[in-house]
Each structure stands twice: as structure tokens, then as C-alpha cells.
Amino acid sequence: MLEELSQSIELSPLNQEKILRMLRMPRQADAGPQDPVFDAQLAKQVGLCEAEVRRCAHPRAVLRILPVGELGPLLEGNDIQRLLADCEEAVLMAVTLGAELEKRLMQEEVTNLSNAYVMDLCASQAVEEAADRLEGRLRERIRAEQKYLTNRFSPGYGDYPLRVQRPLLDYLNAGRAVGLTLTPTGLMVPRKSITAVMGISKAPKPEVYGSCRHCPLITKCSWKSFGERCYEQPVINIGL
């Protein structure tokens, strides 16, 4: 089964406090209980960048439900095997914020690096929100069939290698469906995109997360440097 959800995911205003947390801005030392927690100038910049991201983003998504036995090259690694254990079917999904936002981010990278960085964080939060909304719709539908959906698991998590990205996009025909492609070096275009696999089971399953030990970003992970883990953050709060 293949479904294309085009121009049907609307973004709500993003949580700007979470974006400020991603920027790792400390509370002002002399702030009183009624004072702003973060620097006012930076908070203003975040607000402007958040509005620009929402103006330029056009979320589109595609998903496909297949028997687990037909996933072939997508079943690489122990983590994905654990995720799909006891599942007869799996959901493949791709979500992207579109080419207009990609172009806008590239323009800002040339003209204003500070804004470009903040907009990048806003866009990361926005694409995660879009993926959450798509997952929420699907979860309701699966629940109506008296089945259960696992958590999302994306290439690059744990020991799930990034090289499965290409066959995953091929299964979804994502280039034609939502304009999402892969460069020869394995980068998604548009960059603000998410792909993931979920399992469909007849009984609830515990969530599966990849361990830090296998993560390709372990040597430069900002979450780890603060004694935190990315998968323990709220799902709309991503960024490395």
C-alpha cells in the first residue's frame, strides 16, 4: 500500500524556548523570577527565524506499509531487528519541508551565518513536528485496527547504517512522490527531511533506541557533552 500525503501537514508555531535550549543559552545570572530567562536580543532573533522557517516550509510526506519479509536491504543491523521483532508489517516513511525552505537556508548561509544557524535549528524542530503529526495520524489508524505501532527508527540511529537510506527512498519512490533525493555522498536533499521505519504488531512493544556506542556522531555529540542523550529529549527537540 502506498499513500502520498502532499501539502496536508500544517505546522503550528514552534516552541521557541526549546530552540533557545538547543542554542544552550544559560539563564541570565541577575534575572529575577519575572524576568526573561534568555537574552532578549537572541529571543527576538529566534522569533524572526522561526516565523521565516514556517513561511517557507511546505511539509510533504509519503509512507508505505509492507510485510517485514519484503524489506530485504532495510533489515541491516541488530537494532532494526529488535524493532521489528514480532511485527508482520512495517511502515516506511519520509517527510520533507520542501525545496523553498532549502533554498532560503542556503541564501541565509551566504548572507547571515548567525541567522542561518538559528533557522537551521528551527527547521530541524519543524520537520520533527511534521513527522510527529504524520505518525500520530497513522497511529490512530493502526489503533482502530486493534494493532500497535512501534516508535520511529531512522538510518543513523544506533547500528542502523546510513547506507540503507538509498534503498529506503527507492522503496518509497520518494523523489517522484515528494521531491526527496539523495546525493552521491548520501545527504538528503532537501536537507530538512526525515526518513524512518516503524513496525506494526499485534501487541504493544517496548520502545527501541540505538545505543550511543554505535552512533557515528559519538565523538562530536553536543548532547553527550552536557551529560544527556538525544533520544531522551522530547521528540520535537533535535539537533546535534
Q: What is the pLDDT of residues 178-226, one digit of tens each?
A: 999 999 999 999 999 999 999 999 999 888 876 565 565 667 666 665 5
Query: Average pLDDT of the chain?
Result: 84
User: What SS3 string covers the chain?
Assistant: CEEEECCCCCCCCCCHHHHHHHCCCCCCCCCCCCCCCCCHHHHHHHHHHHHHHHHHCCCEEEEEEEEHHHCHHHCCCHHHHHHHCCEEEEEEEEEECCHHHHHHHHHHHHHCHHHHHHHHHHHHHHHHHHHHHHHHHHHHHHHHCCCEECCCECCCCCCCCHHHHHHHHHHHCHHHHHCCEECCCCCEECCCEEEEEEEEECCCCCCCCCCHHHCCCHHHCHHHHCCCCHHHCCCCCCCC
User: What are the cell numbers at 144?
Assistant: 482502530
pLDDT at residue 18 above 70?
Answer: yes
pLDDT at position 6 is 46
- 96-134 pLDDT, tens digit per residue, is 999 999 999 999 999 999 999 999 999 999 999 999 999
Q: What does the alpha-carbon distance between residue 43 and residue 17 come to, in Å, rounded to a whole number?
A: 8
| Contact criterion met (CB below 8 Å) for 193 and 96 | yes
The full set of domains in the chain, from first to last, is 2-24+38-232 (3.40.109.40)
Say if residue 8's pLDDT is above 80. no
Q: Tens digits of per-residue pLDDT, 53-72?
A: 999 999 999 999 999 999 99
| pLDDT cut 70: percent of the chain above it | 77
What's the pLDDT score for residue 234? 39
Q: What is the mean pLDDT of residues 161-177?
A: 95
pLDDT given for residue 224 in this prediction: 64
Q: Which residue has the higher pLDDT, 12 or 173?
A: 173
